[in-house]
Homo-oligomer: A and B are copies of this chain.
Amino acid sequence: MNRTLSLIAALLLLPLLARGKEGVRVSWIQAERAITPTTPLPATLRTDTLLQAWRGERLTAAAMIQGPADEPLRVRLSAKQGAARAWENAAQFMGFVLTDRFNTCGYHPEGLPPYRVADRIGGEEELTLGAQQTHPLWCTLEVPRTCRPGRYQWQLEVVGSHTGRVLARAAMHVQVGSHTLPQPSDYAFHLDFWQQPYSVARYYGVPRWSQRHFDLLKPYLRLLARAGQKVASAILFYEPWGEQSHDKFDAMIQTTRQPDGTWTYDYSVFDHWVELLDSCGIDGQINCFSMVPWDMTFRYRDAFSGQDIDLKCTTGSDTYRQLWTPFLRAFAQHLKDKGWWDKTCIAMDERGLPAMLDAYSVAQEAVPGIKMALAGNRHPELVDKLQDYCIAYGHAFGPEELQARRARGQVSTFYTCCTEQWPNIFTNSQPYEATFLPLYAVANGFDGYLHWSWLNWQDDPLHDSRFRMFGSGDTFCVYPGPCSSVRFEGIIQGVQLTEKVRLLRQEFEASGRTDALQRLDEAMRPFSEGHIQHDAVPAALRQLKALLNS
């Protein structure tokens, strides 16, 4: 080859080499703030990260890749040591979903410009990445409760799906300490996402409560259990919430009025549902909705006519008492037969005091001692009566009330819903807000956190987080797949932090380490009412994490 030809060849190869050199790039990133399709790769790439972990902890890490890639990409985590290979792990592309700035109650307004945010985790196996295009990744690692403390090394690998070549890498070092988190079902934190199993049947086109429906629900419920969920949501009568339920809540108990006016009850769906949750690790409590549904109708089957009757009555009526007295007596007996009596509450959502007192009186008269729950306003008249009392963010029980309730074995939690613009788990919230919520609970004397929705999917849940009502993303935080979300993972991280705080506090108290206790209290102070500064929360979270892992 003469010099001229060599020169021509070199000129032709030059762009290819440059492109190869520029290829796929990867960097670890913080995921405290929302990621959109225009979030850039960090100016300084971080191809190495160190995660501190307790045994039993679910670790997460976010990364960003940038193209161009000559072929579709896949991602994976590889363990450097054989010991770590059995750890449950995943590296996934994050998915962008539609949201907008609507972050309050009521009907979704027209004309708000939508935008895309990286909230869904997983859902696509492969990704095509153009030049300068970025895309976020999410890594999950379940550190076994039995693993040996020490340093474990993992590698995030971006792989060409045609060639199988690793096109980019980033190292992840996991330093596992000697502390161990409990099984999620043993977390002290009282987490309660109300379940919406009906959307799954509709989304997958299977009959409600068919075996296929139950099978499809399992991975969703396992993910919920992983977060430390304590409570099964059960439905006594259609339909507790009315228009806000995109999929209507059928009763899990078939109540039938026989031709002679006596009542019979078929508990088979209720039993199957509770047992399914139990088998997935959600076995702490059963909350049964509702003695005071939003439109005060109770659907039962009338055996003579073969029709469903929507019985409309007020809590003070004779009809109400005639419906509930036999229902609760038979139900109590069934719960006792199943061994579920002690952990079951009749639950209500945001109902007023007179109706609550009526329902309480009817229930106690029918079955003395039956437990009841409410998510709603704090009424002094109810503080001693409700086994499970959940009040809105920013409201408070008195310290004596909390103490007395705890002494009675009663659970006191708080909730956010469409009302709270901050903190919340809308898709237009910042990811750190989810992590903040469990810490807020513990810092303010609550036993846990409740959210009214979890899987209340609309028609295109995989790509759109908006609904006809409520702040965008309010109605679900787990996507079809199941795919977890930045928001749901944020809750898990927050709950794990509360468990660490609790265990360390116990440890420090037992060993009399007041200095360490004091440092813990200081680190928790930014989450306590009167001390919260919204913008300072991310830093406070980082500080707390560092302390808990040190």
A257 located at the interface, meaning its Cβ lies under 8 Å from any Cβ of chain B in the complex: yes
Residue from B258, B260, B306, B311 in contact with A305 in the complex, judged by beta carbons closer than 8 Å: B311
CB within 8 Å of B: which A268-306 residues: 302, 304-306
A10 located at the interface, meaning its Cβ lies under 8 Å from any Cβ of chain B in the complex: no
A261 located at the interface, meaning its Cβ lies under 8 Å from any Cβ of chain B in the complex: yes
A211 located at the interface, meaning its Cβ lies under 8 Å from any Cβ of chain B in the complex: no
Residue from B258, B304, B306, B319 in contact with A257 in the complex, judged by beta carbons closer than 8 Å: B304
Collect the chain B residues with CB atoms within 8 Å of residue A305's CB.
302, 309-312, 319
Collect the chain B residues with CB atoms within 8 Å of residue A368's CB.
none
A128 located at the interface, meaning its Cβ lies under 8 Å from any Cβ of chain B in the complex: no
The proximity string for A residues 311-337 relative to B, scoring 1 for CB distances below 8 Å and 0 otherwise, is 111000001001000000000000000
Collect the chain B residues with CB atoms within 8 Å of residue A260's CB.
260-261
User: Are B302's CB and A309's CB within 8 A?
Assistant: yes
User: Are B302's CB and A319's CB within 8 A?
Assistant: no
Docked complex Cα distance between A239 and B322 (Å): 31
A259 located at the interface, meaning its Cβ lies under 8 Å from any Cβ of chain B in the complex: yes
Collect the chain B residues with CB atoms within 8 Å of residue A309's CB.
302, 305, 307, 309
CB within 8 Å of B: which A336-395 residues: none
Collect the chain B residues with CB atoms within 8 Å of residue A304's CB.
257, 261, 311, 319, 322
CB distance from A504 to the nearest CB of B (A): 57
Docked complex Cα distance between A310 and B257 (Å): 16
Docked complex Cα distance between A302 and B309 (Å): 10
Collect the chain B residues with CB atoms within 8 Å of residue A258's CB.
261
CB distance from A530 to the nearest CB of B (A): 51
Docked complex Cα distance between A260 and B261 (Å): 5
CB within 8 Å of B: which A219-262 residues: 257-261
CB distance from A320 to the nearest CB of B (A): 12
CB within 8 Å of B: which A465-508 residues: none
Docked complex Cα distance between A94 and B201 (Å): 66
Q: Which residue of B lies closest to A323 (CB)?
A: B304
Q: Which residue of B lies closest to A257 (CB)?
A: B304
CB distance from A126 to the nearest CB of B (A): 54
Docked complex Cα distance between A347 and B302 (Å): 29
Q: Which residue of B lies closest to A309 (CB)?
A: B305
Docked complex Cα distance between A305 and B259 (Å): 13
CB distance from A342 to the nearest CB of B (A): 33
Most buried by B among A257, A304, A313: A304
A-B contact pairs, 12 of them (CB 8 A): A257-B304, A259-B261, A259-B322, A260-B260, A260-B261, A302-B302, A304-B311, A304-B319, A304-B322, A305-B311, A305-B319, A307-B312
**Further 13 A-B residue pairs, CB within 8 A, beyond A302-B302, A306-B319:** A257-B304, A258-B261, A259-B261, A259-B322, A260-B261, A302-B305, A304-B322, A305-B309, A305-B311, A305-B312, A306-B313, A307-B311, A307-B312
Interfacial residues, chain A to chain B (CB-CB below 8 A): 257-261, 302, 304-307, 309-313, 319, 322
8 shortest A-B CB distances, which residue pairs? A260-B261, A259-B261, A305-B311, A305-B309, A261-B261, A307-B309, A260-B260, A302-B309
